[in-house]
Structure 1
């Protein structure tokens, strides 16, 4: 790729070619957002804004997603709801734009000085996350506000469930992607030859976000677990953990006694406890024990980290979502912690009523 003498012209050319690729992929998949001129006008405008923000970041400019962009996206969500545009089409378009933007930034980063190319690229990828998901989230709020008004389902329980799902699925996956990028940068700086492909882990985490968002907006239940609990827990631990933290997991009992939805909810609670330990505990060792009995499931997550001065200090969004998930299954959750003596999260979920508790 030959650079123009005028950086502004070159950036404009990059955006034009990226938008053309974006439109072509959408046409190939028969996405109505590109097939209808009135819809494509707003879709193209947003695509150009996002690409412009990312390319500016790649070239060292500090950029923030404007509040006006979120308000515009919220209004766009309302408009698409009235026009009966499926939110799945909007999520698909966001995923296509993400892939096209990464390709564009990879090409552009190759033209930067070697000493800044990697750090600039990672910063631009983070900007891409913020740019896309700030708009997708705002559009989803606009879309759902119309839907809830139409069907009369604006209940507190529904809002809490939505908040938990956004935090535990979307928030945790984006957090994992950013952590993988941070670990990659740290390992590169230290010259560590990691046995894991951190960039691939980050990409997979973001694809999980798109997959969940597509499933959520289509109104279907999420079938997140493809493997057993231990395999899923170990996979998350390997992707999110940095050394010297060592994670040891054990599953006792027969997982077939767990209703599928209970198994999914149990995994989400364990994953959130692990995320908190990685992010805040400074632990050297984390132990996870899940015991499944015919009438109940027990889980304990213990770390030897810094602990909390008051256990209730841990009642942030993550712990609140954990408590709500367990309570929805008629279970109990307890947090035990002391400064300098680590933290233990333990929970019990009865299985005789778990099926009806999930809804």
Structure 2
């Protein structure tokens, strides 16, 4: 069954309806972005742009994220800092807009011809991710720039930490979500019955993005790991791998000796190593060993993939972030890789005197 009206007219009607739902949701939550008329003007404009982009994509119209989106959003972040709008309100608004947009697209997709539904919906979800993330990231930069201007100082270490966090938390989670969507489309096209619910994995990865962003902008650090290291590593491996790659993970020692911050940072480093092995190295076998002692933790991630060209041994964004995370804990990281010979990453992080007091070696 095809669409009953012209796509451009239908898009306008769908956007109007979605914006009304969005405003109602913000009012119900008591969000100042709709309760203060001067704030709602810019908020509504951004919502209309984002909804127009993703709905237009779903309807098969040629669409791209507005060229001025980053500059406008950065300026908007500065303005919201000047207006003393808590960043958490902007994050809540982005989360609500995401939910409204997905609901609108789901309803609309049901009216598309069956042979177009999957490809159009996946493309529209990609557009939604890009549209929201582009603007939220730019607004966060603008907000922080205004804050640093007001306090009269800029911390290089803080900026590095934010860059690492955006890459390892936000970037990796969005990459995982898109990877799961790609795998879902591939499995559907090939008629494969997958052992995992790829859409559920994608939704969880996106929830992680919003959860981390909320904790970052509110100044609260939420524990990222709900299970043990092995369980978290195994779950990521199962969700991110598109091939029958064998991942063997072993944790030796007492994980309770690890301070929570060290445990979280260790997981992020291992996750980045796994992402590289899956995405770039195309490894068939990956071995992970974590040895926890009272006074230190050692870890290795070794794969039999394509290896790294010599000019990349210094590290791209991901490898740099891994080195910085380990260095921030007072540890060291070593990378050994040659083209065609696989990659081995080894790290050692001291745990200080607390662990030694709990037990000896």
Q: Does TM, scored on the shorter chain, surpass 0.5? A: yes
Give deviations 1:303-344, integer Å, cap 9, x for gaps: 111112327446100000000000111111111112222111
* Counterparts of residues 306-345 of structure 1 (less than 5 Å): 306-310=306-310, 312-313=312-313, 315-345=315-345
Task: For structure 2, list consecutive stretches of 5 or more residues without a partner in the other structure.
Answer: 356-361
Distance 2:108 2:25 in 1: 21
Distance 1:150 1:67 in 2: 29
The aligned residue for residue 58 of structure 2 is: 58
Distance 1:275 1:353 in 2: 33
The aligned residue for residue 28 of structure 1 is: 28
Give deviations 1:226-248, integer Å, cap 9, x for gaps: 11111111111111112221211
The aligned residue for residue 168 of structure 2 is: 168
Question: What's the secondary structure of 2:307's corresponding residue?
Answer: coil
Question: What's the secondary structure of 2:112's corresponding residue?
Answer: coil
Pair 288,311 (structure 1): closer, same or farther in 2 beyond 3 Å = farther
Which deviates further from its counterpart, 27-36 or 149-158?
149-158
The aligned residue for residue 234 of structure 1 is: 234
The aligned residue for residue 270 of structure 1 is: 270
Runs of 4+ in 1 over 4 A off after TM superposition: 1-4
Distance 2:318 2:139 in 1: 24
Cα distance, 1:62 vs structure 2 = 3.4
Task: For structure 1, list consecutive stretches of 5 or more residues without a partner in the other structure.
Answer: none
Which deviates further from its counterpart, 66-75 or 306-315?
306-315
Aligned partners of 2:7 and 2:59 also within 8 Å: no
* Counterparts of residues 13-92 of structure 1 (less than 5 Å): 13-92=13-92
Distance 1:245 1:173 in 2: 20
Number of positions where the alignment pairs a residue of Structure 1 with one of Structure 2: 355
Which deviates further from its counterpart, 207-216 or 301-310?
301-310
Distance 1:152 1:354 in 2: 37
Distance 2:233 2:349 in 1: 18
Aligned partners of 1:330 and 1:354 also within 8 Å: no
The aligned residue for residue 152 of structure 2 is: 152
Aligned partners of 1:329 and 1:353 also within 8 Å: no
* Counterparts of residues 79-228 of structure 1 (less than 5 Å): 79-228=79-228
Cα distance, 1:13 vs structure 2 = 1.0
Pair 353,56 (structure 1): closer, same or farther in 2 beyond 3 Å = farther
CA-atom RMSD in angstroms: 1.7
Cα distance, 1:67 vs structure 2 = 3.0
What's the TM-score, normalizing by structure 1?
0.95
Distance 1:218 1:254 in 2: 32
Give deviations 1:192-246, integer Å, cap 9, x for gaps: 1112110111011011101100110011223111111111111111111122212
Cα distance, 1:151 vs structure 2 = 2.1
Distance 1:353 1:221 in 2: 24
Question: What's the secondary structure of 1:67's corresponding residue?
Answer: coil
Aligned partners of 2:230 and 2:250 also within 8 Å: yes
Aligned partners of 2:178 and 2:202 also within 8 Å: yes
Aligned partners of 2:2 and 2:113 also within 8 Å: no
Distance 2:353 2:164 in 1: 21
Aligned partners of 2:22 and 2:96 also within 8 Å: yes
Give deviations 1:36-79, integer Å, cap 9, x for gaps: 11111111111110011111111223322223121111111111
* 1:247 corresponds to 2:242: no
Pair 322,196 (structure 1): closer, same or farther in 2 beyond 3 Å = same
Pair 301,182 (structure 1): closer, same or farther in 2 beyond 3 Å = same
Distance 1:58 1:7 in 2: 10
Distance 1:340 1:68 in 2: 43
Aligned partners of 1:311 and 1:337 also within 8 Å: no
Cα distance, 1:353 vs structure 2 = 7.2
Distance 1:354 1:20 in 2: 55
